[in-house]
Every structure is written in C-alpha cells, then in structure tokens.
Chain A
Amino acid sequence: MNETLQQIKERFQEAVAVESGRDGDVVVMADTRSARGALLEVIGKLRDLGFTVLTDLAGIDYLQYPIQQPGRFAVTYILSDLKRRQRVRLKAYVGAQDPVLPSVTHLWQAANWLERECWDQFGIRFEGHPNLKRLLNHHEFVGHPLRKDYPMRSRQPLSENDSLMDEMVVRLRQKGLLLPGIEAQLATPGVRVSDHGEEAAPGSPSFGARGGAASAAVVERITALPGVLGEPEFYRDLHTELMFLNIGPSHPATHGTLRALVALDGETIMAAVGEIGYLHRGFEKSTEVQTYNGVIPYTDRLNYVSAMMNNFAYCKTIEKLLDIETTERTKAIRVVIAELSRIVDHLVCIGANLVDLGALTNYWYLFNVREKAYDIFDRLTGARLTNSYGRIGGLARDFYPGCGDDILRVLKETEKAIADVEQLISHNRILLDRLTGISAVTAEEALSRGWTGPLLRASGVDYDVRKAFPYDGYEQYDFEIPTGTVGDTYDRFFIRFYEMAQSARIIRQALAKMPAGPIFPDVKTAALPPKDDTYNNIEGLMNHFKLIFEGVKVPPGELYDSYEAANGELGFLVVADGSGKPFRNRCRPPSLLAYAAFPEIIEGHMIADAIATLGGLNIIAGELDR
C-alpha cells in the first residue's frame, strides 16, 4: 500500500478499506450511506493523486458468491496512473434494495457509456448521469441480464426500433440548434424528452416501452412543426431545416452493427447520437457457465480480426489469478503470434479504411498478405479466423516445424505490400486532404474518453500496456511506441503503419531467440497431463478428466488485468469463486470507448469525414457489443 492510499484510508476511516491485490491496490467502499456519500470525494482524491484515467467501470453481482460480501452489488472502477504506471481498483458496494451510486460522468467522458452499460446489465442507477439509458440490450428489454438471478436462457421478443430522437433532442438543445419555443411545445404532457432511467423502476416491464413511445411522439411533434429546428442566421432566408439521417446499421461502412443518427445541414453533421448493441450476444453472461478453458472460443469472437490476442489476454488474466508463470517458450510464441495478429489487424483497418475512402486497390494489396498470414494461423491452429490458440497456462499446441521461417517469409511479403501501399497513398493529395484535420482529439480529451491503443497514441500519449505493465517478456524486446501529434484521422491512420514496423521488429527479435522447452509449466492444476499419462496412468486420466469436465479450479479472488490488443487496452476483470467456471468475467473492450466518442467527434464535419473517422477508429463490433 503506498502512502497516498494510506492518506485516503485515514481520511475516510470506516467508509474505506484499502487492501492489496495481485493487480495492485484495492480501495473498498462499504455499502453504507456515508460511504456512498464519500465515493465522489474518494474518487476525486484518487484523481488528485495521479489516477487520472478511468480505465474501466463494471458491475459485479455477488448473489450466490461463496464468500460473504458487504453488499450484493459492487461497482468496480479501474483507475490508472499512466505516468507512474500504477492502477488502483476501487470497489463500491451497493445493496440490493434500489442500488444507486453517484455518477462520475462529470469527471470522465468515458463514464457515460460505461455507466449506461452497468445500468443496463445490473440495474445499478447512477445519480446525475445525463442519459441513463440501456446501451447493449434492446430498449424494450425487461430486466438486467448480468444479475445472477436473471435466467441464462430466457428469451424476449423485441421488435420496435429506437428512434433515438429522445437523445437527439437533448443533443440539439446542447448545441443550441433548437429554437426557443420548441422547448415548451415538447414539454407538453405525454411527450417526455429524456425520462430514461430516472423515474422508471429497475426491471419494471413498462420501462422500455415508455422510452420508445416517447421518442416516437417527439419525432411526430418535431416533424409537424415547421421551422422548428435550428437555422443558422446565415441560412434564415432559405428556410432550411435539419435533415435526420440514420447512418447505419444498414450501411456499407457500418457493416450492419453500428448506428449513428445524424442531423444534417446540407452534408455537414450538426449533431449526432449513436446506438450500439446490434451484435450483443451476452459474452459476459455466456462465459459464466463455461469452464475457464471453455471461454477461450468466446474470446475469439471479441475482436475477431486478431482473435488470438483476445485468447492470450484472457489466459493471462486467469494465469495471474492462478498465480502460475508460463514457460519462456510460451511467452515468446505468444509475443510472435500476438504481434503478427496486430499486423493483421492493422492491415485490415488500413485496408478497410482506404476502401471507405474509395481507394480500392490498396485493399487487395493488404488483404492478400493477410491471407498469407492466415495460412500460417491455419496451419498452426487449424482455423483461419477464430483460432482459439491460447490455453490457460500455455497454448493449444507448439509451433510446427518451420513455422518461424514461414512467419519471417510472410513478414517480408507484408513489408513489401505495406511499402507499396505507402507509395500509393502517402503523397496522394486527395487522401491527405481527406484525412488531415478531421475529427481531431486532444490528448486530454482522449484520456477522458478512456481511449487506449493506437487512438490514444495518435493523440500524443505514449501509453502502451506492453511498456507500462510489461508481460510475456516484452521488457526484453527493443521497440518503440510511435505517437501522433494532432490526434486527427490522419494520425490515427498513419500511426498503424509505424506500429506494424515495430511489431515486425519484435517478431524478428522474438524468433531470433526463441527458447526451447515445453509450452506448459509443470502445474498439474492447470496443464493437461501428457497424452501418454492420460492413456496409461489412472492419475493422469483422472487429472485430464477433471480438468476437462470441471475446468481449471481457480481459487476465490478477483483482479483486473490488461493486454495491449490491436485496438488498445483489452482488459478482463475476472471474479473467481473457487469453481471451474468464472463467477464474473468482465471484458473491457477498447472499441466501446472509441465508438462512444464517435458521434461527438464527427459533429461539424461532413458525412464523408464521418466515414473516414469511423474507419480510423477501427471499431470491431464483436468486441464493441460483446
């Protein structure tokens, strides 16, 4: 425990307990009125102490947890100090009766969607949240699925689209685009603009339906009133009105999974709001009934462009919970495969972004070499896209003979393709004009939005989990963290080229000194026994049987661990209860926080810019919606 936390402990006495976890210090807030009252103060204090970034915010439902807890729910805030490379996990307990906590949206923009998700999944309200509305689940959905008493296999018929006009009206008002007078007319009975969450009882059946009806009425009213929406002074004679346009989900650039409702003046986006959840499949809930190793295929489907990085990120967290150290060979293989996956991910991002910009040719230049990398993955893991290569404590299998040479060969071809594409685009006036100065995000803003990975680095913050919290032996490799200067689409686009070069450097180093040896440590509780033992030895057979059927037994405990995935910090907050299945498996997806910012950063730009920005953010819906 460091001194600063000691100060907090002394200051707040009973309300706060400070523990030491395997992932750093843990500040625990009791489930009392005074503790809840002190929460904002404690968070403010931690912020002053340097924990300036809200990395994650997630709920935990301790119903049925074997160890008695001070309250049924706990909201976990992961706060990071990027300068001193420290993290603190703050747990605020809250009881089952009307769970409510103060919102931290005024401190971090990232908290907005994270708190919405927490409300959606657990029914924990956040007082002072500007728009506490469901995020991942459909707005007609009844109940809060991540609560332990929500049945695993229940189905609900959901049909009505969310017009999003309720959010749009709020946004238009913020931007000063609603004319005076409309306010009063919208406030007539039966038409509520932003009533989500605040009055509705958690889990009440009428909750979703009311939201939908209200928005429909708002739309009707707005479209019925001529000249009601804002006209800039300049256009007043033209009597133009804003046009509302849904960009997505059925749109070539949003791939059926993202949606942004935009208010257009000509082609300029004056206001925008976003909606997600089209690919929400309950990753976190589903994994609660799988054994620890059985979760790995689910993690493939998070960021399916670089599936193996998710495997490794998840395995790394469980290994930390189990307190086992992977072998040197496994570490090196993980580094090689992860960096190759990063290259593949960036190739896809750049290629897709260029297609969205109309530069088709580059797409095939990049995707052809990606296919060659996939050939290696195919041969190594048996699958091209969803590889499930990681295992807790090790890997599904060792490198095949000559794998390293294959990787070096593909790396060389990839570098050639990247050089070709750079030649095609890097001095192209059209492309530069399209990218420069679009949707610039300052470093402070990016930190407040919880951005990580290439997006944060494009804004000029050299935060990289591989350097800040080294794992898998990254500290022994010589590589640099490229950073951008302005944080516009240009930086977000080109930084990926530099990152790929660094990844290639790491791969070459790791392959050059690839250690020999086994891929599993000699830990009977996690690693499967050798096949010979399984077939010829009763203990080996039993060990195998128990590991497969009951899963790897993880002792009770919880921790947050992170991994530098291609899109940023991929974190897992895992709560273990001693059984072979995770009690709670929270995934911190980098794409969620990236997309949360999207509607706001495209305002003031044109539709074409919004598409370019979206490509630069590299939103992977599997990870965004989980």
Chain B
Amino acid sequence: MLERFLTLPAPIMGTIAAILVVFAVVLPAAMFMVLWERIFLGKLTQRPGPNRVGPRGLLQTAADALKLLSKEDFDPKNADHALFYWAPVFFMLPSFLVYAVVPFGKFGGSYGPALISDLRVGLFFIVAVFSIHTVAIMMAGWGSNNKYSLLGGIRGVAQAISYELPLVFSFLGVILLTGSLSTVRIVEAQSGGVWNWYIVAQPVAFLVYLVCSIAEVNRVPFDIPEAESELVSGYNTEYSGMRFAMFFLAEYASLFATSAIAVTVFLGGWTAPFPEPAVITQSPLGYFVWSAFWFAFKVFGLITLAIWIRGTLPRLRADQLMNFAWKFLVPVVLANVFATGLLGFVVKSGNGLGSWWPVALGTWLALGGWLVLGWATAPKAERRKVAY
C-alpha cells in the first residue's frame, strides 16, 4: 500500500499530502474556533466562558464533540430518510472543498505557493462549491418533515440565493483589477505591502463581501434559518448527536473558509502588510512559516470580527434581510463593478497601486460621500420620545 503510494507521480503525491494537511489543520481549527468563540463571546457578555474541562477550559470543545458522538442518532419516523441522512454530509462538503483553492502560505525561493490546486478558475470554483450549502439546507429542512425545519430551510435557501449574488459581484471588481480568477494570481498581485491589498482599491466590495459571507454562514445577524427563538432551531431542529455535530462543525469550517477567502481576495493572502525582506522570501521553509503565520493571523482577526458582530447585533427579520440584499447590496455592488471597470479601463497601466489609484480614489470618495450624506440625512430622532 505504502509502496504503491510512494510510486505515485510527485504532483499527485503532493496533492494528497496537501489534502491531508488541510484536513489536519481545518478540523482542529474549526474546533478551536468554537472554543475561541465561547471564550471571546463570554468576555463580551461578562461571563467567564468555558473554564471547567481541561486546563482553563481548553478541552471544552473536545468534550462537547465526545458528548455529541456518544448521543443517539435520532431519526424521525416520518422523515425523508435519504435526504435526512445526506443533508449534513452535503452541508459539510463545500466547507472543506473550498480549501482546495485557498493558498494558505508560500514556500520561499523558487518554490510555489502552498495550496492543493491552483485552479485557473479558483474564485469561480469557490462560488460554485459554496452554493451546495443551499441544497443541503433545503434537504435538511424538507427531509426532517417538521414545519419549523421547513420554514428554516426555505429561509435558508432564500437567504443563500439572495446573498450569493452580491457576494459573486463583490469578487468581480477584484477580478477586473487582477485579470485572473486564480487565487494565487490574486494574492501575488497584492504582494508588497498593505497599500497593495485589494481592500484599498475595493473597500465597497470588501464590505459587501463581509456582510454576504456572514449571511452565507448563517451567523448573527443573519441567522434566520436557525433563529432559535423563532424557529426552535430551524433546519437542524430534528438533528441530534453526530449529525448535528456535522452541521455545527461545518458552520465553523465555513466561517473559517469565508474568512480565508476574504483574506485571499481582499487582505493580501499570505503576504505581510509590509514589503518582505529578501532574506525571508528566499528561505523555502522559513518563508512558509512566515506566510502561513500572516495568513492565519488575518483569518483569526476576521473570525474574531464575526464573533464581535454576533455579540453586538440583533437578528434581522426575513423580509428585511431580503430587502437589504436586493435593494441595497446588489445595486451598490453593481455600481462598484461598473465604476471599477470604467476607471480601470480609463487608466490602465500594469499591476500594483500605480494602476489602481483612480479606482481606489473613486470608491473611497463614493464611500465617504455616502457615509457623510447618510449621516446628514438620517432622521435624527429615530427614537420616538416617550412622553411624560
């Protein structure tokens, strides 16, 4: 067995190794995220957070996973069993498939970036794979034969479809600037320092992506498919034990994935926020550690931001959520694509900030103008006074 494996061609071997590494990293990372969320959310809400299992509560998630593993795998009598069984699998699948095209570091010198496969249609792949979630939510919602699950499923589908649109469009600006769908090319185009990151040229797209990605992973304030106080637990109401754990872990893997994509597309991927000294970039392993650190650091920051948002905002209502996507995000992001295309076309002279500055200036001006305008025209006494 091992001999046959070792005789495989090098690229395939490398790919298999990379897949193993990704699994070895992502699963524990998702579990760590659960723990970090509980710690950080605990701090936000004046609670101690987990502090009982293991040293400083570090084994809490492991214990939870064990507990869920040992629980009964409950299967409602009137459920559509096939759908009910496969939904968690389909839910988990895209969360891991996405990592195939996310470069999580780079080896120094003449070696290439560290990722499973550098597809030329990387971003397209991400978008395509992520929409499998929608199918899984609908499968779970319909297959459970429970009205709350069904409502959750329908909400989930409506939300995913609505928010995928602005999410895809938010990539378009970056694709226009890079001229490529390859994630590696996009990261390389951002190397050299924080001013080269696409967040500078595409702030609007970044904000839209941030909102949409939170909606994609069904987190507060967009957690309406689950909406515990309204729909009991939404599409996963009937799930228990390991099947529930799969939903649960997949949600964190997805959060990890969307954050990794945001880092790749807008925050310079594995690159440091300043010009990297040659001594680091030339060292094969050293640069890998260096770049992987920056990548992980940025992902961690974005996840913390998502947790912070969860600790701050209430949940939207289903129709308000739709209105926000269709009447606000879609027009805004379309305008961004249009502006990027126009400005990028008018002043096009190679890669780097040199060619972006009209785009960056234009979008920042528009963003600032919108903020100022919004501030000035906002109804001041939004809050009705209660009379005495």
Contacts and interface: CB of A to CB of B under 8 A. Distances in A.
A429 B228 CA distance: 21
A432 B383 contact: yes
A545 interface: no
A424 B312 contact: yes
B19 interface: no
Interface in B313-345: 313-320
B317 A361 contact: no
Contacts of A480: 388
B231 interface: yes
Main secondary structure of the interface of A (DSSP, over half): helix
B262 to A, nearest CB: 22
A360 interface: yes
A368 B45 CA distance: 10
Contacts of A495: 386
A430 B221 contact: yes
Contacts of B367: none
Interface stretch (A101-109, A229-237, A607-615): A607-615
Nearest to A368: B46
Nearest to B148: A245
Contacts of A425: 314
A542 interface: no
B314 A428 contact: yes
A606 B228 CA distance: 15
Interface string B295-319: 0000000000000001111111111
Interface of B: 41, 44-47, 147-148, 151, 155, 220-221, 223-224, 227-232, 310-320, 382-384, 386-388
Nearest to B231: A607
A568 interface: no
Nearest to A497: B386
A357 interface: yes
A146 B47 CA distance: 47
Nearest to A357: B314
Contact of B229 (A355, A365, A481, A609): A355
Contact of B313 (A267, A428, A460): A428
Contacts of A460: 387
Contacts of A481: 388
A485 B385 CA distance: 9
A357 B224 CA distance: 10
User: Which of A359, A427, A428, A481: most chain B Cβ within 10 A?
Assistant: A359
A370 to B, nearest CB: 12
Contacts of B223: 358
Given A252-B232, A364-B45, A607-B230, A358 B315 contact: yes
A480 B386 CA distance: 12
Given A360-B311, A430-B314, A611 B229 contact: yes
Interface string A321-356: 000000000000000000000000000000000111
B76 to A, nearest CB: 15
Contacts of A363: 45
A431 interface: yes
Contacts of B320: 430, 433-434
A267 B45 contact: no
A426 interface: yes
Given A432-B382, A494-B384, 13 more contacts: A252-B232, A358-B314, A359-B314, A361-B44, A364-B47, A430-B315, A433-B316, A434-B315, A434-B317, A482-B386, A483-B386, A484-B387, A608-B317
B227 A608 contact: yes
Contacts of A606: 317-319
A530 to B, nearest CB: 45
Contacts of B220: 358, 360
B51 to A, nearest CB: 16
